[in-house]
Amino acid sequence: MKSALSTAQKTTTSLSFQDLKEITKHRLSLSVVFSAIAGYLLGAIQVEWFPLVLLGFGGYCMVGASNAFNQVIERREDAIMDRTRNRPLPAGRMSAQTALIIASVLTILGIVSLYFLNPKTAFFGALSIILYICAYTPLKKVTPLSVFVGAIPGAIPFMLGWVAATNEFDIEPGTLFMIQFFWQFPHFWALAWMLDDDYKKAGFKMLPTGEKNKGTLIQIIMYTLWMIVISLIPALGITGRLHLSLGGAILIGLMGMIMLVFAFQLYQKRDNKTARKLMLASVSYITLMQIVFVIDKFV
């Protein structure tokens, strides 16, 4: 009996921890932290570990809070969609009140942590939550322009790291912002292409034309091209302290062209399998691009 009770307690604890990870979307949150740290390394004249820890912790809290608030607001829609119906709230493993408390605590911890770095970092962190929850989330059921609005908080982390390191917002963090801003469109529209039926069940308008058609595919290709161009601008020497060598530019250009090939393949095949390939290519691109920028600075 004691053993069974102990096993049940362990299972409950495990499930609770798993639900905490799901309510904060831990994989997404960690990828955002990665972007912020990359931005910090690019901006820092001298790398210090304590600011890095504060940035990582504060960044995770802010993104986790945004995701938790989002899941509270969309818990009914999540219950409708196949890919989200097993999340903690629609599945009944967590109450909306508990999720709100978690989101509120994470928001406070995140803002305080980022404020210790500098007020500008805390401001941009808070702005990302406000835009995500108060603008992007309600607009998803109103207009496909919600993706444009959502791309603003989504692009903040890369530049946030630079601001955390320098306490300045200038052309360098602005460039980092634009790179990640334009990247989000082909990335998210590839995902929305795959999940179009699910999104429509919940009333979400995510594709730019509202349909899986030629217009959507042309926009995916055009935004991919813009992403490549903006990623290479630092090689021209016009972005302040943000530099990119010829070798780094060639690597990033090649990675961008690979992603563009997947975008053209989606234009030709127009199926979910090809959309998934583009989505995975976009994830690889943003990660490897940031690594190339950082290595290029220090090598």
**pTM, rounded to two decimals:** 0.91
Letter string b/e over residues 239-253, b meaning 16 or more CB atoms within 10 A of that residue's CB = beebbbeeebbebbe
pLDDT digits (tens, 9 = 90+) for 169-203: 999 999 999 999 999 999 999 999 999 999 999 99
Q: In this predicted structure, what is the pLDDT of residue 17?
A: 83
Residue 76 clears pLDDT 80, i.e. is over it = yes
What distance, in Å, lies between the first and last C-alpha atoms of the chain?
A: 61
Residue 16 clears pLDDT 90, i.e. is over it = no
- Long-range Cβ pairs for the range 209-214 (8 Å, 24+): 209/144, 210/144, 212/270, 214/267
Q: Could you confirm whether domain 22-167 is CATH 1.10.357.140?
A: yes
Nearest in space to 36 (alpha carbons), one of 62, 65, 66? 62
CA angle 89–36–232, rounded 5-degree value: 120
Secondary element (H or E) of residue 168: none
pLDDT digits (tens, 9 = 90+) for 274-284: 999 999 999 99
Query: pLDDT averaged over the chain?
Result: 93
